Structure 1
Amino acid sequence: MTQRRSDHGYEKEDEDDFLEWEDHVMATVAGEVRRRRKELRWSAQDLADKCEEIGYAIPRNVIANMESGRRAALPLVEIMVLAKALLVSPISLIYPVGYVTEVRQLPFEDPQSTWDALQWFVGDSPADDATDYMLDHFQAHDLELRSALAAVQSEDYERWKVKTAANRVQREAAERALARYADQATQAKYELRRHRDAIREGGGTPPHLPSPLADVDPTEPDTVTTEENDL
């Protein structure tokens, strides 16, 4: 069973009207651009003006030809600019979850859930043969970063409660909570450091750390020149 062009990408029709996968992807993007443009109550010229404001002109006639299916190609850079202009993410144009039920992820594949295809595209649900080690570590790094920040902030708050406790009972409760959050912060920092080391070992550069977590990376010893050592 195949699909035909519509305002929301493709709809299932008959088994004889096969469209190429590239046309399917382009029509899905074009359908979502048109749907979002109409949702914003913009004309094709309005959208063209927005693209020009961003700094990458996409003329009105190009947008019209894309939406009507008369265009032969749709560069990735245009998807990025159109998404910015339409106030959505690029992935929402390629895999418009909620508006398109199924998409063809790759050539010669049967349609599948748009949400599943999106998860694969962004690396949240990689293929069995995927080797996105760097992406895996960055995603894990982001999770541990959030955990570490939350633990450090809670630790600071409980430390303040210890200092300002009105009585012994409140102080002891705050001290127990402080110890608990301190353990959580230590564990989260350990995991964070582990992923940062793996990123470096893979030839990558870890993300910038916020100041509350500056102690996660070991400080490099000051280098002393030979001349200074001889003095």
Structure 2
Amino acid sequence: MTQHRSDHGYEMDAEVDDLEWEDHVMATVAGEVRRRRKELGWSAQDLADRCEEAGYPIPRNVIANMESGRRAVLPLVEVMVLAKALRMSPIGLIYPVGYVKEVRQLPYEEPRPAWDALQWFTGNSPAEGATDYMLDHFLAHDLELRSALAAVESEDYERWKVKTAANRIQREAAERALARYADQATNAKHELRHHRDAIREGGGTPPHLPSPLADVDPPDSDTTEENDL
């Protein structure tokens, strides 16, 4: 089989199964490290220096061997440090969306779009047989948190418009909008409480709440959370 090395690993002329899955993953990460390093105009030594600054030295020769495919292993901790040094997220090294069209998500599986694989990895798409309900509640909590914040901010703005309305028509329009956003905020807060209760029931600790949503948790809640300042 003929293989051509690119910035993102191997471009294969034969079927992808001819290349071991571990090698495929490593080649993808190494290719993105190389692409991003070149994009920043850094040498391998520059990247090594920044890894050291991040608190976890990765020598220049290790980086060079990884990029050239001569290294047999790539620890997860190094992926995390390399991502920090390269000013990107670790998931962007594993699934370089926009730069790699398809990846092999798991052994013996057909290649799939990098974006789909990234969504699976981060829990944003359903996984067959998945029972990680805590993650589901945290993802739903984040969505409802955003909705609640947007509704509360809009509610405050419409309340200000009611107070400053120049005439009856403007005031009535602002009052209708205020009631609408108040309902949205109430519903979003209700959903937030549901997910926060489910997180606690599962033995977890809900995320901190921003101050505009401090009333979501009951005053007598036995949680040790502290609201954001």
* 1:180-227: CA deviation from partner (whole Å, max 9, x where unpaired): 1111111110011111111111111100001110110011189xxxxx
- Kept in 1, the 8 Å contact 2:149–2:212? The answer is yes
How far did residue 26 of structure 1 move? 0.7
State the partner residue of 1:228.
none
Classify 1:89/1:3 alpha carbon distance in 2 versus 1 (closer, same or farther; 3 Å): farther
Give the AA of the match of 1:85. A
Which runs of no fewer than 5 residues in structure 2 stay unpaired?
223-229
Question: Which residue does the alignment assign to 2:86?
Answer: 86
Question: RMSD value over aligned CA atoms?
Answer: 1.9
Distance 1:221 1:206, change over 3 A: closer
Q: Please state if 1:156 is matched with 2:194.
A: no
Instruction: Report the residue type matching 1:141 in the other structure.
Output: H
Identify if the C-alpha distance between structure 1 residues 174 and 16 changes in structure 2 by more than 3 Å, giving closer, same or farther. closer
Alignment partners' CA distance in 2, 1:2 and 1:91: 29
Q: Is the 8 A contact 1:2 1:18 kept in 2?
A: no
How many residues end up aligned between the 2 structures? 222
Deviations 1:30-53 (A, max 9, x none): 011011111111100000011111
Query: Which residue does the alignment assign to 1:73?
Result: 73
Partner of 1:177 in structure 2? Answer: 177
* Higher mean C-alpha displacement, 18-27 vs 58-67: 18-27
Aligned to 2:117: 117
Judging changes above 3 Å, is the alpha-carbon distance between structure 1 residues 192 and 175 closer, same or farther for their aligned structure 2 residues?
same
User: In the alignment, is the contact (CA less than 8 A) between 1:10 and 1:100 conserved in 2?
Assistant: no
Q: Distance in 1 between matches of 2:16 and 2:136?
A: 41
1:44-55 matches, within 5 Å, as 44-55=44-55
Q: CA deviation at 1:6?
A: 2.6
Distance 1:118 1:16, change over 3 A: closer
| Amino acid paired to 1:188 | A
Taking the aligned partners of 1:126 and 1:183, their CA distance within structure 2 comes to 30
**What are the ranges of 5 or more consecutive residues in structure 1 without an aligned counterpart?**
223-231
2:227 match:
none
* Greater than 3 Å deviation, 4+ residue runs: 1-5
Q: Give the secondary structure class of the aligned counterpart of 2:11.
A: strand
Letter of the structure 2 residue corresponding to residue 162 of structure 1: V
Structure 2 SS opposite 1:70: coil
Q: Structure 1 residues 4 and 106, CA, compared in 2 at 3 Å: closer, same or farther?
A: farther
Counterpart secondary structure, 2:18: coil
Larger Rg: 1
Percent identity of the aligned residues? 85
Name 1:32's counterpart in structure 2.
Answer: 32
Structure 2 CA distance for aligned equivalents of residues 40 and 148 of structure 1: 39
Partner of 2:43 in structure 1? Answer: 43
Provide the rounded CA distance (Å) in 1 between the counterparts of 2:176 and 2:145: 24
The answer on whether the counterparts of 2:17 and 2:108 sit within 8 Å (CA) in structure 1 is no
Matches within 5 A, 1:48-63: 48-63=48-63
| Deviation at residue 18 of structure 1 after TM alignment | 1.6
